[in-house]
Amino acid sequence: MADSVKSDTKTNGFHKTTNGHHTEELKIAIIGQSNFAAEVLEVLLERDHLVVGVFTIADKGNREDVLATTARQHRIPVFKFSAWRRKGVPIPEVLEQYRSVGANLNVLPFCSQFIPMEVIDGAAFGSICYHPSILPLHRGASAISWTLIEGDERAGFSIFWADDGLDTGPILLQKQCPVLGDDTLDTLYKRFLYPEGVTAMAESVDMIAAGTAPKIPQTEIGASYDPALFREENQYINLNQPGVRIFNFIRGLDSVPGALATVVTDDGVDVPVRLYGASLSARRSMANAKLIRFKGAVGPAFVTREGIFITGTDGTLVRVKRVKRGNRVIPAGQWFEQSESKAISLELNEKEQEQDTLLRSIWKSILKVEIEPETDFFACGAGSMDVVRLVEEVKDTLEVPISNETLFMAPVYGEFLQEVILRLRTGGSDHGANIGCDYKHVVLKANRRQISVPTQMFINGRFVDAEESKTIAIVNPTNEQVICEVASASKSDVNDAVLAANDAFRGVWSSVSARERGQLMYKLADLMEQCKEELATIEAIDSGAVYTLALKTHVGMSIDAWRYYAGWADKIEGTTIPVNPARPNHVLTFTKKEPIGVCALVTPWNYPLMMLSWKMAACIAAGNTVIIKPAQVCPLTALKFAELTVRAGFPPGVINVVTGTGSLAGQALADHPLVRKLGFTGSTPIGKRIMASCAESNIKKCSMELGGKSPLVIFADCDLEKAVRLGMSAVFFNKGENCIAAGRLFVEDRIHDEFVRKVIKGIRTMKVGDPLDRATAHGPQNHRAHFEKLQEYCTIGVKEGATLLYGGKRVPNMDGFFFEPTVFTNVEDHMYIAREESFGPIMIISKFHASDFEALVARANSTEYGLASGVFTKDIQKALLFAEKVEAGTVFVNTYNKTDVAAPFGGFKQSGFGKDLGKEALNEYLKAKCVTVEY
């Protein structure tokens, strides 16, 4: 018998008995089920123990337990019993099959069946059993749950010798671990009970084989026997107790089976729910929360974006993150939205019917049952590895991006099929069903296309109206007609967007790996490529951009930016730093580059999509979430872009678009305490106000790309034809609505007149007109206020004595904001038009004499702006000397407007600070953390 074992000799599963006359082989029967039991089997075999038989549960349909599968792989006899007893009496044929293997030690690593004492006592060396508690505390089937429910500070497990009380027998081995504040049933199991338990079972068998296994009688001091939580009546939570007790009960049943409660709806209907993901909340304010009523609860409960908050009897709030209603697990914060949502009935086309067949075959191969619409994946006995297998096979077979969460949210086949089909239809989005069918939109009929464009804000993955349904009119600058009305955000709307971005940053986005971020960005760039004609058409209608230019630059460079930064997403690295340690210790110091958090972007109206992409692509690659406030007058490409982010699969809240005025929505972003970074492109005066707000609110990081008055110097030794062509482009590109436009040309006196003559000749050949006309070179100015500002600018120039050679007025006989390309000469340095930016198609020309290079550079630098500059000359020494001396963030030599997504872009002085584009732009959206470890 086991209590006579004293020898310490063990070799290859043989055990030397106390009489010393013979060696008896240790023959092990494993009785149990699950992955835990399968791993115990594997470890015992690795340690050369002899396992003579495995006894497990009967198959569920055609599905056998993993313990049986593992045993068969090792050619170990497998026996499957639906029960060991009938009416309390052992089943003879079951006992006969057990005895047939000749086991002398029973190992019960995880056993859900009642094993007869004839089996427990039938092995010469006894039976050992795993129990997830520190016996004698919490005896019973739900021990580890009660460890959490009772708020124990320590958890653990016991390996004990089974007796007729099953968990009252002598202790062989015990191990403990602390219960952490955020532990749940799952985390305790994964962190300690499972891995350490497998090892401990093998150690126990080693001790039995060595004759050193103790038998320590259990004390009755502190013993408890707690109710079984597999009974539904024991799963209901008492909500009339202190918050910590409510919290402990929920985490004690997380994630199986879940704490039960009953929600009472406004019309008096009782709705059973299960609660998951509990935490004790430090929140005190319930502003903007909706009341929810739980049956039997005295304290109030609330629903916010963050979840459901339940009030304990001591006033402590318990936050619940997820709720199971029926077969679906939903975010608790979406309780009312999910309750009000209507089921979508899908009609499958021929290809989708084939996909249904493939999907059914995958489910059947895993579950081993016939698949019906109501087949529940988990009710069929599926486990965690089955979830992984299903998700991977579906992703590989149907090429649809799903995750484990997809199955948890839709465990019934019919619902899962619907999720997969909707994602295939919408390019991978979790919630793409809502995009393309239920947002408010305008249909633009232009360029031989019909383009649907959203007109609502985009917050938390949905298009929504502004508070009180406020809107602003969007005007087509080509014909001055209203295109549509677009939502005009309030301060409350901005707050909703920031909260959504904050939730996403701390939640779903934090679980997306850097490489996965990059893949989402590549997918978005591909969708933008597919829709580039639509996007360019919207830019032409909304902002007046010439279609061909919009296609190449506005949209083309936007796509380039997303692809460029997608490649950077998984290459953001810190460094290790050699420091002086305090000897004899060693020190490791390293830096980590981390995302800042919630970022706000405020972009201008000259390149609506490109400015969005330049900033946002770097921001997203760095791992941040974002709210963008596009220009009030042309937000439509930003809203169409939002639709594409859904189709690309970006989680809700990662990218948000609030439309409206800068004075309200833009200011609200600058003032918001949860926004940690603001990127702005616009005028210097507005930039100053935004910087002040960033400082006053929470000293948020900011980057500014502001006004410019970029000098372009043209020496007589240049290639004149090239200088004329690119000089005109430097001024008139994108109708002069270009931040780096050459604000003042310095032309050497020897070629001045010829240069001017060629420019005028070139202007006369430019076609001004409809931006959608492929022959058009010059479209309308963006909006009326800017158009009128240009007229005033030219009036000032003439009044101060500059020579207006060409233009300076509205194009005659045309509707829309068409302004003639304009040329001023004889401009003196003190004049208004020599100092201030026009941001329009106005060329300002001054002469210079080549004899005083230093004076020329001084004139070029005689401005508070320092965004860009250019020089045309064949003298490389002169060119490089100018590049060295000029005070500008960008210098073009014998070219102009030649930007690239890999090259940093940004200004000096009052043209701002910080960089867009290139590797440097990533630093605008990252923070460096220094970590020092002494060892």
Query: Which one of 64, 203, 539, 705 is the catalytic residue?
Result: 705
Query: Which one of 531, 739, 786, 794 is the catalytic residue?
Result: 739
Contact 241, 309 (CB under 8 A): no
Rounded CA gap, 40 and 707, in Å?
70
**Angle, alpha carbons 866-733-720 (nearest 5°):** 85
Rounded CA gap, 648 and 504, in Å?
16
Instruction: Give residue 153's identity as a one-letter amino acid code.
Output: E
Burial of 836 (C-beta count, 10 Å sphere; 0-12/13-18/19+): middle
Burial of 723 (C-beta count, 10 Å sphere; 0-12/13-18/19+): buried
794 counts as catalytic: no
- 3-class secondary structure, 18: coil
DSSP class per residue in 493-544: HHHHHHHHHHHHHHTGGGGS-HHHHHHHHHHHHHHHHHTHHHHHHHHHHHH-
Q: Give 688-692's long-range contacts (Cβ < 8 A, gap of 24+).
A: 690/602, 690/666
Contact 600, 629 (CB under 8 A): yes
Burial of 142 (C-beta count, 10 Å sphere; 0-12/13-18/19+): buried
Contact 514, 570 (CB under 8 A): yes
Crossing angle between the packed helical segments 556-568 and 532-543, to the nearest 10 degrees: 120
Closest CA to 454 of 653, 695, 245, 659: 659
**Angle, alpha carbons 220-221-222 (nearest 5°):** 105
Query: Which one of 15, 131, 554, 783 is the catalytic residue?
Result: 131
Contact 33, 67 (CB under 8 A): yes
131 counts as catalytic: yes
Residue with tokens 């993901």: 277
705 counts as catalytic: yes
Rounded CA gap, 796 and 785, in Å?
17
**Angle, alpha carbons 591-596-598 (nearest 5°):** 165
Closest CA to 601 of 477, 702, 735, 738: 702
DSSP class per residue in 708-752: --EEEEE-TTS-HHHHHHHHHHHHHGGGG--TT-EEEEEEETTTH
Rounded CA gap, 742 and 843, in Å?
8
Contact 255, 185 (CB under 8 A): yes
Length of the chain: 935
How is residue 340 written in tokens?
């009000």
Catalytic residues: 131, 705, 739
